[in-house]
Structure 1
Amino acid sequence: MPQLDAHYDALARQDGEPLTARLRAAFRAAGRDPERLSPDEVAGIDQLHLGGRRASRDLARRGAVAAGQRVLDVGCGTGGASRLLAHEFGAEALGVDITAAFVAVAEWLSQATGLADRARFLCADAARLPLPAASVDVVWCQHALMNMPDPATVLAEWRRLLVPGGRVLLHEVVAGDNPAPLSRPVPWAREVAHSHLIHRETLEAGLAEAGFVAREVDDVSAAALAWRRRQVEGKVEGKGKGKERSASAALPGPALIFGDDFAAMGRNLLDNLSDDRMRIIAGAWARA
């Protein structure tokens, strides 16, 4: 989708340097071999959602992800959740993203961290995936539905792909009760047309209509807001520039993906969460 490429791969469009090349150079500048990296070393660029790896681990435990399960990571970005599920939970992960630059980075990082055999990737539209029916045990999605203009079609595709009794695990941005417009840019959108936030009730109704039964759903906005505030203070992984960087400052962070807008995106996340213009939910649903 060209508009998403324009957002998520904006720096490449500006200076012509591919995202993978830019990140490889940054690892070399930090004294790291870009072909041999640890999960900790890549944490700053592979968990592009509120809560970082802790949120991913909590979601995996909530959904009882287990060794050998086939997990489809929808909107995988640079592949952090897929690698975490493979490395820490023993899952067989397939990450899918519509942004080709992210898929290229995901493939490289999985190879560099020794996880390429258990975390594979595909560039495709989440609404039309070239995968057989009943081929996955878990559909995993973190901060991706808000970029999808037709969630009903996506949810129907998830039901097609899941085995009977399979699970949907979501850690998602939804609209808050404050009707004021979002402060932008945010990590998923610079323009209004790229953001498709819906209210929690609308999302849950859509999941029910698509044939999913809620098992456990919580509003985790307070935890996400606290995490973001700690990030600004430089106390968690995945730091960006300036005050948001700490001992691992030399390692690449999200500013190398989002560019100069990253600082403003972080401030706007705080504002939007604090003012209830957006919320974060985490939950598990079962395919009926």
Structure 2
Amino acid sequence: MTDHARHLDTHYDAPAERDGQSLAARLQEAFREAGCDPDRLTLDEIAGIDQLHLGGRRASRSLATLGSFASGSRVLDVGCGTGGASRLLAAEFGAEVTGLDITAAFVEVASWLSRATGLDDRTHFLCADASHAPLADGTFDVVWCQHALMNMPDIAAVLAEWHRLLVPGGTVLLHEVVAGDDPSPLRLPVPWARRVETSHLRSRHALEVLLAEGGFAPVAVQDVTEVALAWRRKHSRREGGDVAPTGPALPGPGLIFGEAFAEMGRNLRDNLSADRVRILEGVWRRA
């Protein structure tokens, strides 16, 4: 395991460092305590842990609609986390999805959740570095990536892999955190980093230049910061206890990130408000 992978493992599976219990075992136990069978779950029951990015399922649906890819498209979900977007694309858009993540605990959970929701025939997951994907050339019609590039130090290498893996004319669908106009240091921790060493934010301009140099032409690109900020404010109120729960206490992201999750959410809200970070949504086509 590389130092990069170790740092991300420590960040994204922090409670395991403390108690030694695997992420999958911890989540399965939490589902049992909530009165759910961890071997038979619905997409609504797992919504709190399956899409670890701003906007949740709504943001994934927005990006998929913007990309307008055909049913049956072969999709590579880069930085798939626990596999929520992969399952949504399979269930609602008819995609055949391969999820890739460098964090082994996420890949284990993603595979389990797809089996539990009956989507394991259309979603498959592997643990690998996105800059060295063990996959054949021209395997995919779409590369999908939500809130993952900011954890990747060598984006040029990652984009070269995307270019290799896509068919000619294939598309990249990206929903990403980029640096804002306020140059002051990020308020940490945030959901993707507890330390500056694991945050690799770039400005929108820098990212778009890298995409162009990597052989990708923009099709539709928009700043969705205000929508993301409204979503984050709503969830910060809920996490702070200002909004009463409306249903059973199903597992949430605190079981993944640990006690620091509420602080991460508040810091992300404040970083968005101060324009230290922005959120970009877009589609690019492989030239």
Q: TM-score, normalised by structure 2?
A: 0.97
What secondary structure, in the 3-state scheme, does the structure 2 residue paired with 1:233 have?
A: helix
Matches within 5 A, 1:243-262: 243=242, 246-262=245-261
Label 1:174 to 1:249 Cα distance change in 2 as closer, same or farther (>3 A). Answer: farther
What secondary structure, in the 3-state scheme, does the structure 2 residue paired with 1:54 have?
A: helix
CA distance in 1, matches of 2:147, 2:120: 23
Q: CA deviation at 1:251?
A: 0.3
Cross-structure match for 1:127? 131
Q: CA deviation at 1:33?
A: 0.3
Q: Which among 206, 214, 217 is matched to residue 213 of structure 1?
A: 217
CA distance in 2, matches of 1:145, 1:248: 34
Q: Which among 28, 35, 45 is matched to residue 32 of structure 2?
A: 28
Matched-pair contact (CA < 8 Å) for 2:236–2:262: no
Q: Which among 181, 184, 190 is matched to residue 186 of structure 1?
A: 190
CA distance in 2, matches of 1:164, 1:66: 16
Matches within 5 A, 1:194-213: 194-213=198-217
Q: Counterpart of 1:188 in structure 2: which amino acid? A: W
Matched-pair contact (CA < 8 Å) for 1:232–1:244: no
Q: Counterpart of 2:220 in structure 1: which amino acid? A: E
Q: State the 4+ residue runs in structure 1 displaced beyond 6 angstroms.
A: none
Q: Counterpart of 2:276 in structure 1: which amino acid? A: R
Q: Which among 107, 125, 128 is matched to residue 111 of structure 2?
A: 107
Q: Which among 175, 196, 202 is matched to residue 171 of structure 1?
A: 175
Q: Counterpart of 1:250 in structure 2: which amino acid? A: A
What secondary structure, in the 3-state scheme, does the structure 2 residue paired with 1:182 have?
A: coil
Q: Which among 131, 138, 145 is matched to residue 142 of structure 2?
A: 138
What secondary structure, in the 3-state scheme, does the structure 2 residue paired with 1:260 have?
A: coil
Matches within 5 A, 1:267-286: 267-286=266-285
RMSD between aligned alpha carbons? 1.0
Cross-structure match for 1:160? 164
Cross-structure match for 1:56? 60
Cross-structure match for 1:230? 234
CA distance in 1, matches of 2:243, 2:279: 22
Q: Write out per-residue CA displacement over residues 47-96 of structure 1, whole angstroms, 9 at most, x where no aligned residue.
A: 10000000000000000132100000000000000000000001000000
Aligned length: 283
Q: Counterpart of 1:229 in structure 2: which amino acid? A: R
Runs of 5+ in structure 2 lacking a partner?
Answer: none
Q: CA deviation at 1:148?
A: 0.3
Q: CA deviation at 1:245?
A: 6.2
Stretch deviating more after TM superposition (75-84 or 64-73): 64-73
What secondary structure, in the 3-state scheme, does the structure 1 residue paired with 2:249 have?
A: coil
Cross-structure match for 1:264? 263
Identity %: 67
Q: Counterpart of 2:67 in structure 1: which amino acid? A: G
Q: TM-score, normalised by structure 1?
A: 0.96
What secondary structure, in the 3-state scheme, does the structure 1 residue paired with 2:259 have?
A: helix
Q: CA deviation at 1:232?
A: 2.5
Q: CA deviation at 1:230?
A: 1.7
Matches within 5 A, 1:42-53: 42-53=46-57
CA distance in 2, matches of 1:226, 1:84: 22
CA distance in 1, matches of 2:14, 2:264: 14
Q: CA deviation at 1:166?
A: 0.1
Q: Which among 4, 23, 44 is matched to residue 19 of structure 1?
A: 23
Q: Which among 9, 12, 31 is matched to residue 8 of structure 1?
A: 12
Runs of 5+ in structure 1 lacking a partner?
Answer: 235-239
Does residue 92 of the first structure (1) align with residue 96 of the second (2)? yes
Matched-pair contact (CA < 8 Å) for 1:159–1:287: yes
Matched-pair contact (CA < 8 Å) for 1:241–1:255: no
Q: CA deviation at 1:244?
A: 6.0
